[in-house]
Amino acid sequence: MDDDRPELAPVSEGRMPVRIATQVAAAGALLGGFEGLVVAMRSPLWLTGWERAQLTLAAALADSAVALVAGLVGGAAAWFTPSWQPLWRRYRRGFGVGWSLLGGFFLLPMMAELARREEWKFVFGLSVVSVSVALFGFLVAGYAYRREMIGLVPRLGFRIPVAAAVLLLCAASAAVPQRTEAPRLVAPPGSTNVILVTIDTLRRDHVGVYGDTVATPNLDRLGKEGAIFDLAVTPVPETAPSHASMFTGRHPSETKVIQNGRVLGASELTATEQLQLSGWRTGAFVSSFAVDSSGGLDQGFEVYDDDFAPLLRGVAEFRVGWLGLRLLLRFGDPADWPMLLERRGDRTVARALDWVATIPDETPLFLWVHLFDPHAPYDAPGNVGLDHAAILAQEPGYAYSDAEIDTLRRQYAHEVRFADAQVGALLEGLRAAGRLDEAAVIALADHGESLGEHQIAFNHHGLYDEVLRVPLLVWHSAPVGEPGMRVAEQVSVMDVANTLCDAAGVPKLSKTGSVALQHRLRGSELRPEPLLLFGRSDAAWLYGVRAPAGVKYIQTETGAEELYDLSRDPFEADNLAATQPAAVENGRAGVTLLRRHIDLDADAPSDETSLMLGALGYQEPTPP
């Protein structure tokens, strides 16, 4: 009967595609508002109420824009439907096409991801919401159309209540706290707060208590009131592998994180997970994409703040924002968007202290703060000199003049002073909050930096001590040993994992090479082991062994060998490989063992990840 009913005041065919597009866009805004609310509540980032509201509004606007495109396709479907069909049927068909495209783009991938995580209550909830919105859209759209058919102008269009609903969802995002995973156990009263500070690319000799090259009063205070480890070494002078070893206590050949962009497996037990399981609140605030949560270092952290956007934070948390950022970084030049790949240390510290202020005083916390400032390019605030970023944008192999090397060394030192100031701000904030009354602080670098030594300028390639040896300082509110004591034995960044556990008094990680550094401070007898090394040059992988007695062996992929007696030749200028065959043979045996456990091809970084790491200055060698 409806097919034969006269249309008294039909919507014109010219207006139909636009009407369909705008109504589908309004439906998309509503879905985006719900998506933004869910994302804001579940985000691993530390977001203020205002930032959660912004995130919800951004999701609504972004989803509305995509829905508008889907609606235009639906409008085109209505437009090209045979003209002998009634307008109401053509309208319904066009709206159905647009809505189906919208649902397929947003809801199905979202529900599939939730199902993969076995979060069935959210799958059910999202299904109910999607069906409800679909029915609501069809009913309201049909109702408005039929009112126009009989000459009545709708009193309340679909778009107006949607806008009101989106604003309500934004308000709800601001008001509803983020969902966090509470510790399964309650830590005993008076438990120790554990603070880990890692400073990317910090040379050991640029910390005052090691070399007096640079004034670093805040780091120096930690060492003078705590303990100074003179011979701390990283097995791989690269950010992600070194941090993975710190948290697991395992060698990169075991974690399989042998370069930036590789993922720490979920089966690896971290010190963070051990602390969280024992009742500690856990938060990480990092400053570089090199330690992005996608690399698996977020295991055990209830908050993992790795979004560096200066304005809209969390944009990568909702689907359209994630796709937009990936397209921007994939088809644009990531180097043009440094604010998406790193952030200054003062902003990271401010975020960390804001989070600390929300934790009840009686609840112990584990806080990791990662500072990236000394990493190239050297451009700390107030640093006037060369445009290091422009130099790094040149073709590989740029030849630095002596004057440029001197200037960039000064700029690097300025970066170190800036990072030290942020350590001071962090410690002062924690002291003011009462978090250092019962606390342990471990501060170290993930690796060093070459400033022209061995013809390696302003990166951390090679396996020389400029990049392998790192500053490592341990401070306790209840001192372990004499203040300012120095430990001369070789230790590794792998020892950090059980040092964290020992400081908190929780069970240590087993099946690791991690030895709590407190044992060194208490005078425990420990047998030092040779440390297997892995790294890279500009074009090839490198392997090595650093013996506790001070002998180092290095082998390149092509078989070239180097041998140094570090006790007599600390600057590694005299290669003894041709004159010490027995030591070389021992080194070869260690490298052979290492090679058997390193897979250069498995789970290599994606092209997209490599592009973003390249924008931060990481140029990976091509595996053989």
Of the three residues 130, 146, 175, the one that is the final residue of a domain is: 175
Does 462 lie in the same domain as 356? yes
Residue 513, in any domain of the structure: yes
CA distance 41 to 30: 17
pLDDT in tens, 305-361: 998 887 788 887 777 877 777 777 667 666 666 777 889 999 999 999 999 999 988
Residue 598 confidence class, pLDDT cut points 50, 70, 90: confident
CATH code, domain carrying 237: 3.40.720.10
Does 531 lie in the same domain as 387? yes
Going from the C-alpha of 387 to that of each of 67, 214, 371, 376, 403, the distances in angstroms are 43, 22, 21, 11, 14
- Residue in the structure block whose two tokens are 């089966």: 267
Neighbours of 236 (CB within 10 A): 30
Report which of 22, 127, 30, 116 is spatially closest to residue 75, judged by C-alpha positions: 22
Does 200 lie in the same domain as 127? no
Tokens matching residue 432: 């003011």
Return the percentage of the chain with pLDDT > 90, whole number. 42
Our CA dihedral for 552, 558, 560, 562, rounded to 10 degrees, sits at: -10
Residue 328, in any domain of the structure: no
Instruction: Please check the confidence at residue 143 and state whether its pLDDT lies above 90.
Output: no
Of the three residues 122, 147, 175, the one that is the final residue of a domain is: 175
- The pLDDT of residue 470: 97
Higher pLDDT, 121 or 355: 355
CA distance 130 to 98: 14
Does 22 lie in the same domain as 94? yes
Does 506 lie in the same domain as 456? yes
- Tell me, rounded to whole angstroms, the distance of Cα 206 from its chain centroid: 26
Return the percentage of the chain with pLDDT > 70, whole number. 84
Report which of 557, 545, 548 is spatially closest to residue 586, judged by C-alpha positions: 545
Q: How many domains, the chain?
A: 2
Residue 6 confidence class, pLDDT cut points 50, 70, 90: very low
pLDDT in tens, 169-187: 889 888 887 776 666 677 7
Does 274 lie in the same domain as 239? yes
Residue 321, in any domain of the structure: no
Query: Which runs of consecutive H residues, i.e. helices, occur in 1-86?
Result: 16-42, 49-79
Tell me, what amino acid is at 224? K
Residue 1 confidence class, pLDDT cut points 50, 70, 90: very low
**Percent helix / strand / coil, the chain, rounded to 5:** 50, 15, 40
Query: Against a cut of 0.95, is the pTM above it?
Result: no
Structural domain span for residue 300: 193-308+343-615
Of the three residues 144, 175, 206, the one that is the final residue of a domain is: 175
Residue 391, in any domain of the structure: yes
Spatial neighbors of 516 by CB under 8 A, at least 6 apart, are 495, 498, 499, 501, 502, 508
139-143, 188-192, 269-273, 375-379: lowest mean pLDDT where? Answer: 139-143
Does 224 lie in the same domain as 167? no
Does 405 lie in the same domain as 368? yes
Spatial neighbors of 565 by CB under 8 A, at least 6 apart, are 550, 551, 574, 576
Instruction: Please check the confidence at residue 528 and state whether its pLDDT lies above 90.
Output: no
Instruction: Please check the confidence at residue 492 and state whether its pLDDT lies above 60.
Output: yes
Does 534 lie in the same domain as 467? yes
Residue 623, in any domain of the structure: no
Instruction: Please check the confidence at residue 622 and state whether its pLDDT lies above 50.
Output: no
Does 255 lie in the same domain as 112? no
Going from the C-alpha of 406 to that of each of 44, 145, 205, 382, 402, the distances in angstroms are 42, 74, 16, 18, 6
Residue 243, in any domain of the structure: yes
Instruction: Please check the confidence at residue 421 and state whether its pLDDT lies above 80.
Output: yes
Does 83 lie in the same domain as 137? yes
The H-or-E segment that residue 541 falls in is strand 541-546
Q: Work out the average pLDDT over 467-478.
A: 95
Task: Report whether 458 contacts 619 (CB < 8 A).
Answer: no
pLDDT in tens, 81-108: 666 666 666 777 777 777 777 777 777 7
Give the pairing of strands 365-371 and 193-199. parallel
Instruction: Please check the confidence at residue 546 and state whether its pLDDT lies above 90.
Output: yes
Residue 330, in any domain of the structure: no
Does 247 lie in the same domain as 147? no
pLDDT in tens, 213-256: 788 999 999 999 999 999 999 999 999 999 999 999 999 999 99
- Residue in the structure block whose two tokens are 């020992």: 502
Residue 379, in any domain of the structure: yes
